[in-house]
Amino acid sequence: MTLHPPEPFRIKMVEPIKLLDRNTREVAIRGANYNLFGLRSEEIFIDLFTDSGTSAMSQAQWAAMLEGDEAYAGARSYYRLAEVIQDIFGFPYFLPTHQGRAAENILSACLVKPGQYVPSNMHFDTTYANIRARGGLPTNLVIEEAHHTGSYHPFKGNMDIEKLRDFINRVGADKIPFGMITVTNNAGGGQPVSLENLRRVSQTYKEFGIPFFIDACRFAENAYFIKLREPGYADKTPLEISQEMFALADGITMSAKKDGMVNIGGFITMRDEALFEQARNELILREGFPTYGGLAGRDLDAMAIGLREVLQEEYLAYRLGQTAYLAARLRELGIPIIEPPGAHAVYVDAGLLLSHIPQEQFPAQALTVELYLEGGIRTVEIGSLTFGHLDPDTDKMVYPKLELVRLALPRRVYTQSHLDYVAEIFGKTAARCDQIPGYQLNYAPKLLRQFTAQLEPIKADNHLSKTLTELSILSV
Ligand code: F0G
């Protein structure tokens, strides 16, 4: 087993975590209606729910926070951040927002009209919902290889250029207010996009006069994959690669809770002045004045430092190495994962592991519950609970192609022994996976239902009592 490059930092402050006993965990998960969003943080031992806003800040970031300028307008913190953003991303205009979805909301509010389409490789669920909320139709055009979990492809986040061209010709460029691409492709396994693909996507959008926006949440991780895997980039720095990526676009939406290395924050950038003016008005209406955008001055300073730190090569080598290490441990145990692993998470193919549970009984959700029960680990479902929906035309449920469980790694938080523990718990869970029950849904809202859904395990006697109730109804 190859170990990952050692952490390029040492620990100066610690946050205690505790493994509760099995009985307490059982009570907790029942109380949360078998939805891990409902658990309290203190009920969790290892939290791999998300890499978003959960990273550890550096001493430089904490020090910069003390220098935060809290002036309502024109704060020094804003100008410090503006300089960093200008250097890395290179757009003439930028607006801070409180997080990524606020940037997505502003972009959708300014540009999307009902019935219009927004293509991407794959939209993340908040991007999808923000476009839908304006009456738009988000469309995913990722390459076919993205759907084959076990096979190797260096850039499974790439967009299918042929599909994109056909799509634009079919719906008409006037029906597409802007096009997107997500780097790395979170909804498809955290897979990177190559520079050659970004170039072709950019050319295609340009040819049809469609503005091109990058969802840049994990841009540094994507840049490092390009350095490692794309011919011609081995000698370039992550900063140079990032600059080359963004030179191809008309703007970005960013959740700095990922590769901004902060607990809160985001921004939107653009080249177009008219769009900037419109976006600025939206920002003032909902987020705040353009030099703070819903954040404190100190948050802007932490972000300015984080955006620099995330591009350091020793950090990125450790980051990608840590995820590859966890993936290797799971692979060793025979756990099916999306290959090759991305940078921010390992995605387990729960549909394959729990093949005895049909999709309408939420196999991936069942695995998340079981990992919590077995070892106090919190992971997230990306399957039929998150993406299953009723087709209004056929009145039938539509399920996603994959039932995944994501193990997201917060940045600079867990050590190798934490990951060894996770692998050990996976081993125990997988050994009795045929006994894991499916789940029934007792409550779910229409949009973004995974956050507040309530579920219950389907037990053999549950089946029986349901059948008996149905029988007695019939006999009446
Ligand atoms: N785009 C991508 C690709 C994301 O992964 C996220 C968030 C967002 C946009 C929205 O950003 O949370 O700051 O509003 N992803 C988190 C996750 C929530 O767990 O993957 P936000």
For residue range 407-465, list pLDDT tens digits in order: 999 999 999 999 999 999 999 999 999 999 999 999 998 877 899 999 999 986 554 44
pLDDT mean over 333-337: 96
**Atom number in ligand 1 closest to CA 51:** 19
**Site of tokens 């791999």:** 48
Residues 6+ apart with CB under 8 A from 407: 48, 326, 345, 346, 347, 348, 379, 422
For residue 46, which phi and psi values (nearest 5 degrees)?
-115, 120
- Rounded distance between C-alpha atoms, residue 184 and residue 312, angstroms: 18
Gap from CA of 126 to ligand 1 centroid (Å): 7
- Ligand 1 pocket (Cβ < 6 Å) reads 50, 52, 99-101, 124, 126-127, 182, 186, 215, 217, 255, 257, 266
Instruction: Answer whether residue 467 shows pLDDT above 80.
Output: no
E strands, 198-341, are: 212-215, 251-255, 266-270
**Cα R_g (the chain), whole angstroms:** 23
| Mean pLDDT taken over the chain | 94
Query: 86: closest CA among 246, 213, 194?
Result: 246
Nearest CA to ligand 1 atom 19: 50
* pLDDT one-digit tens code per residue, 46-104: 999 999 999 999 999 999 999 999 999 999 999 999 999 999 999 999 999 999 999 99
Query: What is the residue-wise DSSP string for 60-110?
Result: HHHHHHHT----SSS-HHHHHHHHHHHHHH--SEEEEESSHHHHHHHHHHH
β-pair type (93-97, 266-270)? antiparallel
DSSP string, 351-365: HHHTTTS-GGG-HHH
Q: How many CB atoms lie within 10 A of CB 460?
A: 7
In angstroms, rounded to a whole number, what is the distance separating the alpha carbons of residues 175 and 165? 14
**How far apart, in whole angstroms, are the C-alpha atoms of residue 317 and residue 8?**
9
| pLDDT (0 to 100) of residue 447 | 77
pLDDT digits (tens, 9 = 90+) for 107-135: 999 999 999 999 999 999 899 999 999 99
Q: In sequence order, what E strands does 109-211 have?
A: 117-120, 137-140, 179-182
Q: How many CB atoms lie within 10 A of CB 441?
A: 18
Q: Would you state the structure tokens that stand for residue 423, as one six-digit string?
A: 């692998």
For residue 457, what are the contacts with CB-CB under 8 A and spacing of at least 6? 34, 366, 369, 437, 438, 439
Q: How far is the CA of 100 from the centre of ligand 1 (A)?
A: 6
Looking at the chain, how many residues does it have? 476
Instruction: Determine what percent of the chain is predicted with pLDDT higher than 70.
Output: 96
Output the CA torsion 103→109→115→119 (10° steps).
-20
**If you measure from the C-alpha of residue 54 to the centroid of ligand 1, how many angstroms do you get, rounded to a whole number?**
12
Report the alpha-carbon distance of residue 109 to residue 394 in Å, rounded: 30
Closest CA to 429 of 360, 379, 358: 379
Q: Residue 110 has which token pair?
A: 């300014």
Residue 20 CB neighbours (<10 A): 15
pLDDT number for residue 1: 57
pTM: 0.93
If you measure from the C-alpha of residue 465 to the centroid of ligand 1, how many angstroms do you get, rounded to a whole number? 41
In DSSP notation, 402-465 reads --EEEEE--TTT--HHHHHHHHHHHHHHHHTGGG---EEEEE--SSSGGGT-EEEE--HHHHHH
Asked if residue 251 lies in contact with residue 175, where contact means CB atoms within 8 angstroms, the answer is no
E strand or H helix at 146, and its extent?
Answer: none
Is the separation of the CB atoms in 81 and 304 below 8 Å?
Answer: yes
Domains of the chain plus CATH, in order, are 22-51+313-473 (3.90.1150.10), 59-309 (3.40.640.10)
Distance between CA 181 and CA 201 in Å, rounded? Answer: 8
- For residue 185, the ligand 1 atom closest to its alpha carbon is 3
Q: Identify the H or E element spanning 398.
A: strand 396-398
Closest among 2, 3, 1, 39 to 371, alpha carbons compared: 39
pLDDT grade, residue 2 (50/70/90)? low
Residue whose CA is closest, atom 18 of ligand 1? Answer: 52
Which tens digits make up the pLDDT trace of 237-296?
Answer: 999 999 999 999 999 999 999 999 999 999 999 999 999 999 999 999 999 999 999 999
Cα 275 to Cα 110: distance, rounded to the nearest angstrom: 7
Exposure on the CB side of residue 372, measured as CA atoms within 13 A: 34
